[in-house]
Structure 1
Amino acid sequence: MKNLVDLIIKNCSLITSDFEIKENQSVVINEDIILAIDTPEIIEQTYYSKDTLDGKGKLLMPGLVDAHTHISQQFLRGRIADEYPMIWSRILVPFESSLNETDAFNSAQLCCLEMIKSGTTAFAESGGVHMHKVAEVVVQSGLRGAITCSTMDQGPFIPDSMKSSPLEAAEKIENLYKEFHGAGNGRIQIWFALRQVMTSTPALIELMARKAKEYKTGLHIHLSEHRDEVSYCLQNYQKRPAEVFDQYGALGPNLLAAHSVVLTESEIDLMKDRKVNIVHNPRSNFGSHGFPKTPRLMQHNMPIGMGTDGAAGSSLSLFDEMRVFRSGLNVFWGLPIFDPLVIPAKELLKMATVGGASALMLKDQIGTIEIGKKADLILLNIDQPHLSPTHKLISTIIECATSKDVEDSIIDGKIVMKNRQVLTLDEEKIMFESKQALKPIAEKAGI
């Protein structure tokens, strides 16, 4: 007698947990879990399903994890190109401070829509404004997300509306935690946050670190993103950024350290000892901050995720991030020493999947296609001239695949996008309202 299940993905190729390609497979999903993986013949003998997805000519991949993004900056697309530093203090933070609840809601809708259509199934939001409205949208969208509020309590260039005392910052996140942590069948996590060291007093750093441990959740920070940050720490603490955060108790296995570009060898050793999760943002970093010591971090077997850093400076495509990262690190670290393997294709794919899962503290649940893990999966149409035929499909995915090749998305066992049609959000309505909202938001922000 056959067993009834919720969904079967039939006759696909897939990326195994070892990041190898396996052909002629079917995958069984029941509720939110991957129940079985086998040949179509064996699966057909054992299971029948309420719903199916045809995987012929498609590659089943783990859903991509955008481990550092800025949902509140979705309406800044195209605005910061060709601008002089410091963009962050002159444009980004003042823009965020001008958003009202409706703006935040609309920004979140557009952002979630783009992430789903880009193959992203989970993300870590680094902290914006009106995050209760963001959380509402994420629950509706079907995405998996680690969400937090922006926390800053100092800085001459920070608008007063964006500053809060340590206790006020903690209360805001605690209220968000009580309302949304575990929402959407557990898809939503609420984290604590520190925007960056230059906008955080020691009291804020200590409190956010302590609260994250108390609530057994994550702490999301920008760390060693640029030289100004290093200079600030050396002048005010006589220490480098990672050492300052460690002094006040923030470095640990629940810490997501976004960017992590300008690190010394001693900081890398310290972060390894503290089991910190690294997240790189290739296009953002290459455009503004430099080249991270990723090969060195890989030698230390440190968990490395990848993020888009939001839509202000680029798209939300992790396929683009992987491709740019490969080229940039090959030029900077590989070419001078004739090392074409400075960052292998397989390692890049791991960063965008299992590395991001580790950064979200979900490595045991998502990031690879394995029986017993959550069904966060995407299907790529590989039966196209830019992807097939190929000698090495994973290398071709890194070099040639785009977000538009993602045809189907399953998150938490539910089909969220089918044949490029998003099922959880009204794309036509969101696009219309977003176009109407862009100019008024820009005028209000004075940009």
Structure 2
Amino acid sequence: MREPADLLITDCSLMTPEFDILDNQYVAIRDTLIIAIGKAEEIKDKYEPKEVLEGRGKLLMPGLVDAHTHTCQQFLRGRTLGEYPMIWSRILVPFESSLSEEDTYLGAQVSCLEMLKSGTTSFAESGGVHMHKVAEATIESGLRGAITCSTMDTGPFIPESMLASSPGEAASRIEELYRAYNGAGEGRLRIWFALRQVMTSTPALITLMADKAREYNAGLHVHLAEHRDEVSYCLQNYQKRPAEVFDQFGALGPNMLAAHNVVLSDGEIALMKERGVKVVHCPRSNFGSHGFPKTPTLMQQGLSIGMGSDGAAGSSLSLFDEMRVFRSGLHAFWGLPIFDPVVIPAHELIRMATSGGAQALQIEDQIGTIEIGKKADLILIDINQPHISPTHRMIPTIVESVNGSDVRDSIINGEVVMKDRQVLTMDEEKILYESGRALPRVAVRAGI
């Protein structure tokens, strides 16, 4: 008698945790988990699946993890390219402050739709306004997410509506979101604590957010060492660099997801390694505005590194695009001057976008690699296309040639959420129509 399975993926190529490619693989899934991996003779006659997903001509790999994004900025697409710094204080934060609940919900829907269609299955949202609407859109989409509220209590350039009246008020807002949504969506949604960045946080806020994250056993999402103004601010006000300031007030630790990390000193890198901080790079955002991070040094020091899109304001949400740009940029900046063609190996870029992101979200024991016992968060790429096949080596080809539009099927928590490019959890036509109608009024209200 055959064992029951919810889903059977048949005859696919498969990326192993060691970045080898195995052909003619079958994968059985039950109760959200991968329960078997093997050849046809090992799997096909052993399981009776409710659903079969054809894998011939496709590569099965872990779903991508966008470890730093801004769903509330989806309606800023095409607006920030060519703008002078500081874009975040002049445009991004004021724009967020103008959003209504309906705007936030629609933007989050479009963001979730874009992530699903480009291979992302999990994301970390660093916080905006009306985050209960982002939570609702995430639950509906089927995505896995760690979300929080934008948390600031100081800054002369921050709109009053975005500033917490006190650290306690900021904490209460996140605690309310936590009580309402943490663990929702069959456990896919988790609520974190946050600090927008050191320049907009008083010492009292930093200390409280760090304490609350530990109290709730939650992550702490921050922007860190993104630009030189941040370093200058910390040196003038604390006589320390940004990572050192966070450490002074008890925030630097293994539950911290630190996004950007462009202008870290070697001393800060060593401190972050000691504290177990999870680093996340946002290549296109960083290259376009702030510079080149010391990624080779971070890798040599053994820090966990994830990858993020930083939202749609300046680019798409495709992590395949991020990998490709990151490889070219780091090779040009760090590799070419010393004749090192593998300063950033292809498999390390894929690791950042998968298991590195899983580590940043603190769920590496659940997702990020294809292994028996892990959650079935998976994507199938159509590799039977002239820009992908034939190839001598699939791993470099993924980095250099695969696009988000090559993702044919997506599975999250064991459920097929996209099949043959059709998203099954969301009404794509309706969302695009309603968001297109909303954009002009959003722009007028925001003054952009």
User: Is 2:117 the counterpart of 1:117?
Assistant: yes
The C-alpha deviation readout for 1:176-209, integer Å capped at 9, x for no partner, is: 0000000011100100000000000000000000
- Name 2:130's counterpart in structure 1: 130
The C-alpha deviation readout for 1:305-355, integer Å capped at 9, x for no partner, is: 000000000000000000000000000000000000100000000000000
- Name 1:302's counterpart in structure 2: 303
- Name 2:70's counterpart in structure 1: 70
- Name 1:274's counterpart in structure 2: 275
The C-alpha deviation readout for 1:186-235, integer Å capped at 9, x for no partner, is: 10010000000000000000000000000000000000000000000000
Q: Distance in 1 between matches of 2:415 and 2:213?
A: 30
- Name 2:56's counterpart in structure 1: 56
- Name 1:400's counterpart in structure 2: 401
Please list, as runs of the form range in 1=range in 2, the aligned pairs for 1:267-416 lying within 5 A after superposition.
Answer: 267-416=268-417
The C-alpha deviation readout for 1:21-77, integer Å capped at 9, x for no partner, is: 111100000010000001022211211100010000000000000000000000000
The alignment's TM-score, normalised by the length of structure 2, stands at: 0.99
- Name 2:249's counterpart in structure 1: 248
Q: Distance in 1 between matches of 2:395 and 2:53?
A: 22
User: Is 2:215 the counterpart of 1:214?
Assistant: yes
- Name 2:260's counterpart in structure 1: 259
Q: Distance in 2 between matches of 1:48 and 1:65?
A: 31
The C-alpha deviation readout for 1:61-100, integer Å capped at 9, x for no partner, is: 0000000000000000000011111111111011000001
Runs of 4+ aligned structure 1 residues displaced above 2 Å come to none
- Name 1:151's counterpart in structure 2: 151
Q: Distance in 1 between matches of 2:375 and 2:302?
A: 25
Shift of residue 17, structure 1, vs aligned partner: 1.2
What is the one-letter code of the residue matched to 1:300?
Q
CA-atom RMSD in angstroms: 0.5
Q: Partner of 2:247: helix, strand, or coil? A: helix
Counting aligned pairs with the same residue, the percent is: 71
The alignment's TM-score, normalised by the length of structure 1, stands at: 1.00
Shift of residue 4, structure 1, vs aligned partner: 1.4
- Name 2:224's counterpart in structure 1: 223
- Name 1:14's counterpart in structure 2: 14
- Name 1:141's counterpart in structure 2: 141
Please list, as runs of the form range in 1=range in 2, the aligned pairs for 1:15-54 lying within 5 A after superposition.
Answer: 15-54=15-54
Q: Distance in 1 between matches of 2:222 and 2:167?
A: 15
Shift of residue 420, structure 1, vs aligned partner: 0.2
- Name 1:82's counterpart in structure 2: 82
Instruction: Identify unmatched segments of 5+ residues in structure 1.
Output: none
Q: Distance in 2 between matches of 1:216 and 1:307?
A: 23
Q: Distance in 2 between matches of 1:208 and 1:118?
A: 33
- Name 1:424's counterpart in structure 2: 425
Q: Distance in 1 between matches of 2:298 and 2:425?
A: 38
What is the one-letter code of the residue matched to 2:268?
E
Shift of residue 145, structure 1, vs aligned partner: 0.2
Q: Distance in 2 between matches of 1:19 and 1:275?
A: 25
The C-alpha deviation readout for 1:278-313, integer Å capped at 9, x for no partner, is: 000000000001000000111111100000000000
What is the one-letter code of the residue matched to 2:160?
D
Q: Distance in 2 between matches of 1:96 and 1:254?
A: 26
Q: Distance in 2 between matches of 1:133 and 1:44?
A: 42
Instruction: Identify unmatched segments of 5+ residues in structure 2.
Output: none
The C-alpha deviation readout for 1:389-447, integer Å capped at 9, x for no partner, is: 00000100100000000000000000000000000000000000010000100000001
Q: Distance in 2 between matches of 1:418 and 1:24?
A: 20
The C-alpha deviation readout for 1:139-178, integer Å capped at 9, x for no partner, is: 0100000000000000011000000021111000000000
Q: Distance in 2 between matches of 1:22 and 1:226?
A: 42
- Name 2:238's counterpart in structure 1: 237
